[in-house]
Amino acid sequence: MTQEELDALMNGDMDDIDGIDEVSAEEVSDTEASSDEEEITPTGFTEEHYPMPATDENKMVHQLDDVTKESEEKASEIFDIIEGISNDLMDKEETLTSVIEVLTSNVELFTTLTTKFPEVEAFKEQLEKNETALSEANETVEILQNSGDSIMSVMDIMQYQDIHRQKIERVINVMRALSKYMNTLFEGKIDDDKRVASAKHLAGDTHNDVASTDDIEALLAQFGS
């Protein structure tokens, strides 16, 4: 009993209860009618959840094959780029090593000249410049070496991409094996074109909705393609 019915009973107004009962009955009727209007497909799915057609864009194994192929191609491109950067860094490191040897020799020379000729300011200036250049060159070599180590770490991390690809391929193989098993399980001794056509309506059926041959063939073609 609702609160309205209880209030009407307490106030002695029985007519209001009858009116409330009529409204409640109408609401229930409307609810049942709206539920009956919901369209149900032959497979039991509502229109909103009806399976997508089996096109190339929706086939699971087809999509997974595309993913593994594209993933492998892109990973190969990334490895090529990283390898090129690594080679460039190694070349520059070798070049700087040669520059450092020259700068080290200059520092030694101007150190000697400055010691022997302390009154010559040019020797002191060149010594300071070469010492600064030598320090900057050593720092640059250290940065190049750290960058090379970082690139090696990136290449190691990229190895996981290949592991992920192998996992996807393993899933594909399992799915294909299950598909073949199911096909074998449902094999028959009689060809489908030699079978007796399925009855459209059997005695004792509680419905009169009979699917046409075209409807059945269209449904089979959709899930078999």
Q: What is the pLDDT along the chain (225 residues), one digit of tens a residue?
A: 556 665 655 565 545 545 545 545 455 455 554 444 444 444 444 545 556 666 766 778 888 888 888 988 988 999 999 999 999 999 999 999 999 999 999 999 999 999 999 999 999 999 999 999 999 999 999 999 999 999 999 988 888 888 888 888 998 999 899 989 998 888 888 887 777 666 666 666 666 666 666 776 777 777 665
pLDDT at residue number 3: 60
Contact at 8 Å (CB) between 46 and 40? Answer: yes
- The alpha carbon of 37 is separated from its chain's Cα centroid by a whole number of angstroms, namely 38
**CA–CA dist 96, 89 (Å, integer):** 10
Going by C-alpha positions, the residue among 175, 195, 173, 193 that lies closest to residue 183 is: 175
Of all helices (H) and strands (E), which one includes residue 98? helix 60-116
Distances (CA, A) of 100 to 2, 111, 112, 145, 211: 94, 16, 18, 15, 88
The pair of three-digit structure tokens given for residue 73, joined into one six-digit string:
């191609």
Residue written as token pair 């070599």: 141
Residue 177 half-sphere exposure toward CB, CA atoms < 13 A: 6
pLDDT at residue number 38: 46
Q: What is the pTM of this model?
A: 0.53
